[in-house]
Amino acid sequence: MLGVDAAGLALQPVSKGALVENFVAMELLKLAANSEARPSLFHFRTSSGQEVDVVMENRRRDLVGVEIKAAATVGDGDFRGLHAFADLAGKRLRAGVVLYAGRETLPFGDRMWAVPLEALWSESR
């Protein structure tokens, strides 16, 4: 639909990131619709530009922030938006998650995790 093939994505990595973000957001929407918790999904952005790709809120008002990255590595900087969100959400935040193209689930501080994208489809989730 975008007229971009694999070679085009290699030349325009921004397109790849946007495509992965959109794809994963739609997968989260499908999973939410089929879960017992039935969370609502939102996007979070502050006036200063800090953002979180997807915020899930269940009926008890618990929150999970999800940042989506196409990269195979993740670092502290990838959690900036999640930390800004955590400051505002307080105790309502259950977890901040960066979904990334790597292979390991890694802790990044209090309630913050880097989780492989493939966890969305694995049976052990």
Domain at 12-120: CATH code: 3.40.1350
117: its two tokens: 């994208």
Burial class (CB in 10 A: 0-12, 13-18, 19+), 19: middle
Q: Please give the share of the chain, as a percent, with pLDDT higher than 70.
A: 86
pTM of the model: 0.86
Mind listing the pLDDT tens digit for each residue in 83-124? 999 999 999 999 999 999 999 999 999 999 999 999 998 765
Mind listing the pLDDT tens digit for each residue in 42-83? 999 999 999 999 999 999 999 999 999 999 999 999 999 999
Is residue 89 helix, strand or coil? helix
